[in-house]
Amino acid sequence: MVWVPLGHPRTNRLTILRTSNNSCTKMSVAWLLDWSWSLDGLRDCIATGIQSVRDCDTTALTTVACLLVLFVWYCYHVGREQPRPYVTVNALMQSADVNGLQNGYVYCQSPECVRCTHNDGLNQKLYHNLQEYAKRYSWSGMGRIHKGIREQGRYLNSRPSIQKPEVFFLPDLPTTPYFSRDAQKHDVELLERNFQTILCEFETLYKAFSNCSLPQGWKMNSTPSGEWFTFYLVNQVVCIPRNCRKCPRTYRLLGSLRTCIGNNVFGNACISVLSPGTVITEHYGPTNIRVRCHLGLKTPSGCELVVGGEPQCWAEGRCLLFDDSFLHTAFHEGSAEEGPRVVFMVDLWHPNVAAAERQALDFIFAPGR
């Protein structure tokens, strides 16, 4: 049961409001009267709505229901897909739509791409991104990044030829061509425990190869001799949904890695295949803030990785960690009967990059920035 104040004629209401000298009395009376009007309006609105529903015919209700079902289906369909990459990221090196070739890699032609060395305004762009990050968060812990961006030209031009990252050099990081397995122990052990899982998914993929065509999802890279194929799950931190669906267990495994680079354009994950007789031209990676991890899936004899002039061999079921900002190459000199050399490659954070620095670098080198 709801108590509703009795209404008054409009003249009486005005008389009350004019004659009362007490402001509190005025407010109370006005509130009570407005409350009564609101309840009347609410009752009228509800009655009108009920009558409208009663007047609707079956066809109109069916149409509304169909539109609702279509909307739910559309939301589900869109939710299953990964977000589309920004154009600037999709145009980064390794893109299938670009034409420039250098050191066996594909480079983009976009003046906006932070990954390209031909971008004359790169330092200004990086410094602007750092300033924006510091305004939002803090300058605390940004000393090395600020120093690196401020003197980037000197670092990249005056570095010894053995280590010369093409895009960004973070100063004062320990430099070594290879890292011990303990550098990222958790992730190394996790990958090695799942060796058979990754290998099985690769073998299923590789069955699609034929002599006359390149299977969907695979990319052929430029090499002086032989054939080098890559199958990317994550390319410059952009997931490739079609490829990930073909390797679901491997893709889910990436989410369990603690140090996987997953929020800036230096992060990749792919299967790399070298056919016998293949040589990859010597080249430098884009930055020294990452450790490139190779999990050996198939490692015939005669295969070698050379980083900073130091040779190493892969082993099946074992991880090999190296800094690809050093000059490096790989080759497969085994026989055709031994088959291809296959590794699962994923980019991890350099162990000496602090948490605050990682957060800032993720912001500075975010896809599309």
Exposed (0-12), middle (13-18) or buried (19+): which is 119, by Cβ within 10 Å? middle
CA–CA gap between residue 69 and residue 342 (Å, rounded):
46
| Residues 344-368, mean pLDDT to the nearest whole number | 96
The pLDDT score that the predictor gives to residue 37 is: 55
Which SS3 state, helix, strand or coil, does residue 77 take?
A: helix
* Of 171 and 92, more confident: 171
The pLDDT score that the predictor gives to residue 62 is: 78
**Residue 345 in contact with residue 293, Cβ under 8 Å?**
yes
Q: Which of 277, 234, 225 is nearest to 254 (CA)?
A: 234
Percent of the chain with pLDDT over 90: 58
pLDDT-derived band at 56 (thresholds 50, 70, 90) equals: low
**Residue 126 in contact with residue 114, Cβ under 8 Å?**
yes
83-92, 219-228, 336-345, range with the lowest pLDDT: 83-92
If you search the block for the tokens 């009564």, which residue do you land on? 36
**Alpha helix stretches (DSSP H) within the chain:** 10-19, 23-55, 58-80, 87-90, 122-136, 143-150, 152-158, 185-193, 195-206, 241-246, 248-254, 355-364
The pLDDT score that the predictor gives to residue 287 is: 95
The pLDDT score that the predictor gives to residue 272 is: 98
The pLDDT score that the predictor gives to residue 273 is: 97
**Residue 330 in contact with residue 305, Cβ under 8 Å?**
yes
pLDDT digits (tens, 9 = 90+) for 143-163: 999 999 988 877 777 667 899
CA–CA gap between residue 200 and residue 194 (Å, rounded):
10
CA–CA gap between residue 16 and residue 25 (Å, rounded):
9
If you search the block for the tokens 């990436």, which residue do you land on? 254
Q: Which of 214, 264, 247, 5 is nearest to 96 (CA)?
A: 214
pLDDT digits (tens, 9 = 90+) for 160-190: 789 999 899 999 999 899 999 999 999 999 9
Q: Is the pLDDT of residue 105 over 70?
A: no
Which CATH class for the 166-352 domain? mainly beta
pLDDT digits (tens, 9 = 90+) for 286-344: 999 999 999 999 999 999 999 999 999 999 999 999 999 999 999 999 999 999 999 99
Tokens describing residue 24: 């509190």
